[in-house]
Chains A and B, each alone.
Chain A
Amino acid sequence: MLMNLFKFKGGVKPPTNKTQSVTLPIAVAPIPSRLVVPLHQSIGGTPRPVVQAGDQVLKGQLIGEADGWISAAIHAPTSGTVVEVAMHVQPHPSGLDAMCVVIAPDGRDEWIAHQPFDYANAAPEAVREYLQQSGVVGLGGAVFPTHGKLTPSKTVPMEELVINGAECEPFITCDDLLMRERAEEVVRGIGIFRDLLQPKKVLIGIEDNKPEAAAAMRAAVDALGEPFSVIQVPTLYPAGGAKQLIRVLTGKEVPAAKRSTDLGVQCFNVATAYTAWRAISHGEPVVSRLVTVTGNVHAPRNYEVLIGTPMDELLQLATPHPDTDGIIMGGPMMGFLVPDRQVPVIKATNCLIAHDDRLFPPKPPEMPCIRCGSCAQACPHELQPFEMYWFSRAKNFGKTQEYHIFDCIECGCCSFVCPSRIPLVQYFRFAKSEIWAREREKNAADGAKTRFEFKQVREEREKAEKAEKLAKAAAAQAAKKAAEAAAAAAAGEPVAEGAAAVEPVAPEATPVPVAVDPEKAAKMATIQAAMERAKAQREAAQPKNTEALKATQQKEIDEIEARRQAAHLTEATPAAPAGEKTE
């Protein structure tokens, strides 16, 4: 099929080093001695562990529950016993620890009960949720949860669905082998994405150094009668970058601070399509992936590896040469030396390269920038790396943002061509993470400020409310006293019978304080009332309510006393009452 292809600016052609690992078919790696499955393997929220040490798990059993919409579930890669849920070192440049579920395999590799998803009768929403529950994430390396990309935009019609089989980075061949051997399942997976997104066209981009993969994909597309176009794109690093591949296939350039979906394009990796199909048609969550094991080894090859396999054990399968001094995860352009050989394979691990000084000679020291501009010519995003380098180095982060440092995809083309061997990407990563850290601090400071101001306002309000309450209480007290006094005044003589007598008289007395100057009257009444109270107290020195009792009242009292005594006896705690009784 002839199609007009476009070009992206820049790019480099490093030696591809792919032929070593494509000679042998995909092999299934044996179950390792133990599996360390990190919970946070995708962009977004960290899944919550739902197992604990000692639990028996089956292959495909949920062990980490997705936390929020942009997050994907984690499953046990094989059957066995959970040894611990603990912090372990991660395949991350920091070499820091994160929460992992450690599983001791029982060797049976026994699947949990699973059945195909009823795709034909499921609503798109249900399919997306199912993919999230199955832990399907972008396997091209960015590990963005796939279901999050499968919601069509309401405003922009979906024009093209781009499937990324370019695999531009040297050494890596896992997508190549996947397309060669499992093309049909990849194409069926693409069919699911097509159903959910309803694009006008589906374009499968494969670099022209993988003719076998392209042929296999074409055959599968034809066999399934799908209207997908399989397009071979020129081999040029980084043609496999999402924005670059979109540019090559559709001619659309994704502007800074916009997403491809804003232009009606969405992009998925072939391996993602494959895992989506496995999840839908077999009910198998993502528990393994293809990993290229290459570099300084005897038998470079692609393996189907359980997530959580220690990298060292995997590397041993390809028998590394004795001078191997490290493992690179990813390719030589964007990968990094893992901090520890025991770190696990995760969903983002597409390639392990055994590192030695022959393959990757140590870089000679950095020289000053001569402003030759090679980096600007090589940059596939048309940035100016030499300017960004200058400002990153000087820690002038505002300026680096003016030069659009956040459009940098860290592909490494600039460092690759730099005649002064400046590690440009490292400077950009440093600048980016500093800017992010400052952003976080700024947000925290703003939050603290708002809360502090709110607290001050609240304290003021509480003070005011308290004062108001006190004033009200005082007023109420005064009014009450006034009423009492007025009542007393109206009654003329103090009520010797007790407080009960005041009540019926009070209503009659109320007009009195209203009639005269209320304040004065209240004051007078208060004094009056105080005097009356004092008098009453004097008169009522001894209780008066037990004298002159009627016979019925006396009887009632006796009855109550009798009941009390009975209660004391039944409770068998007669200490004090008993004493009273004997007296």
Chain B
Amino acid sequence: MEIVLAIAIMALGAVVLGAALGFASIKFKVEGDPLIEKIEAILPQTQCGQCGYPGCKPYAEAIANGDEINKCPPGGTEGVQRLADLLGREVKPLNAEEKPKQIAIIDEQTCIGCTLCIQACPVDAIVGAAKQMHTIVAPLCTGCELCLPPCPVECIRMEPIAENIDNWKWKYPVVEIKAAALKEAA
């Protein structure tokens, strides 16, 4: 008799907990893969395709599925580091040269107004119309270089973003012992 009661109690417990878990799995279902979103948040969103994928999101998906984390030159070494921290993988050197941040500039004298760069720009940072001069909206340009190849007159060039008082950063304090030693050596 007691054994039956014990089994009944355990069975009841199993049913209740099972129901609770089943309810939770439906109620608190996570939409999409949160890992992909986290990876995408680290990627610089230049949408440049230098990783070989058409945009940052596809690359984030590829990383989540096991692709290398060092294929994003605009993200730089720091980006690789942060991806490694997130995914618990080993830091690898970047598979391309790290460039300073840059923006595209259209030589407006040469521009013939073909609209090819407007179509190529992934972030709509170029304004213009057919047979009208085009120009880059500098604050929106991500420096992805995708507008360079389609230009038939090669009037687009990349320029590194110059330091000014608004984007200037305080430097990491120098430990003075080293500075003194260097001075002496010099």
Query: Taking the nearest CB of chain A, how far is it from the CB of B40, in angstroms?
Result: 8
Query: Taking the nearest CB of chain B, how far is it from the CB of A422, in angstroms?
Result: 9
Task: Name which residue of chain A comes closest to B178, CB basis.
Answer: A365
Q: Assess the B173–A423 pair: CB atoms within 8 A.
A: yes
Is the CB of B21 closer than 8 A to any CB of chain A? no
Known: A365-B175, A426-B170, A452-B47. A90 touches B122 (CB 8 A): no
Known: A98-B164, A365-B177, A448-B123. A433 touches B170 (CB 8 A): yes
Q: Assess the A454–B56 pair: CB atoms within 8 A.
A: no
Using a CB-CB cutoff of 8 Å, which residues 320-367 of chain A contact chain B? 363, 365-366
Is the CB of B135 closer than 8 A to any CB of chain A? no
Stretch at the interface among A260-268, A294-302, A438-446, A472-480: A438-446
Q: Assess the B170–A446 pair: CB atoms within 8 A.
A: no
Is the CB of A255 closer than 8 A to any CB of chain B? no
For A40, list chain B residues within 8 Å (CB).
165
Chain B CB within 10 Å — which of A96, A434, A436, A440 has the most?
A96
Q: Assess the B165–A98 pair: CB atoms within 8 A.
A: yes
Query: Taking the nearest CB of chain A, how far is it from the CB of B30, in angstroms?
Result: 21
How far is A440 from B168 in the complex, measured between Cα atoms in Å?
Answer: 12
How far is A434 from B170 in the complex, measured between Cα atoms in Å?
Answer: 8
Query: Taking the nearest CB of chain B, how far is it from the CB of A61, in angstroms?
Result: 25
For A436, list chain B residues within 8 Å (CB).
169
Is the CB of B107 closer than 8 A to any CB of chain A? no
How far is A444 from B164 in the complex, measured between Cα atoms in Å?
Answer: 17
Complex partner residue of B56 from A93, A447, A449, CB under 8 angstroms: A449
Binding site secondary structure of chain B? loop
Query: Taking the nearest CB of chain A, how far is it from the CB of B129, in angstroms?
Result: 16
Q: Assess the A454–B124 pair: CB atoms within 8 A.
A: yes
How far is A440 from B176 in the complex, measured between Cα atoms in Å?
Answer: 31
Is the CB of B28 closer than 8 A to any CB of chain A? no
Bitwise, B126-150 to A at CB < 8 A (1) or not (0) is: 0000000000000110100000000
Q: Assess the B164–A455 pair: CB atoms within 8 A.
A: no
Is the CB of A467 closer than 8 A to any CB of chain B? no
For A432, list chain B residues within 8 Å (CB).
170
Known: A365-B176, A365-B177, A430-B172. A448 touches B46 (CB 8 A): yes
Is the CB of B167 closer than 8 A to any CB of chain A? yes
Is the CB of B171 closer than 8 A to any CB of chain A? yes
Is the CB of A92 closer than 8 A to any CB of chain B? yes
How far is A432 from B168 in the complex, measured between Cα atoms in Å?
Answer: 12
Is the CB of A437 closer than 8 A to any CB of chain B? yes
Q: Assess the B45–A429 pair: CB atoms within 8 A.
A: no
Bitwise, B145-165 to A at CB < 8 A (1) or not (0) is: 000000000000000000111
Q: Assess the A430–B164 pair: CB atoms within 8 A.
A: no
Using a CB-CB cutoff of 8 Å, which residues 380-407 of chain A contact chain B? none
List A residues at the B interface (Cβ < 8 Å).
Answer: 40, 90, 92-94, 96, 98, 363, 365-366, 423, 426-427, 429-430, 432-434, 436-437, 440-441, 444-449, 451-452, 454-455
List B residues at the A interface (Cβ < 8 Å).
Answer: 40, 43-47, 55-56, 122-125, 139-140, 142, 163-165, 167-173, 175-177, 180
Apart from A96-B168, A446-B45, A451-B125: 6 A-B pairs, beta carbons within 8 A: A90-B165, A427-B173, A447-B140, A449-B56, A451-B123, A452-B56
| 4 A-B pairs with least C-beta separation | A445-B45, A433-B169, A429-B170, A94-B168
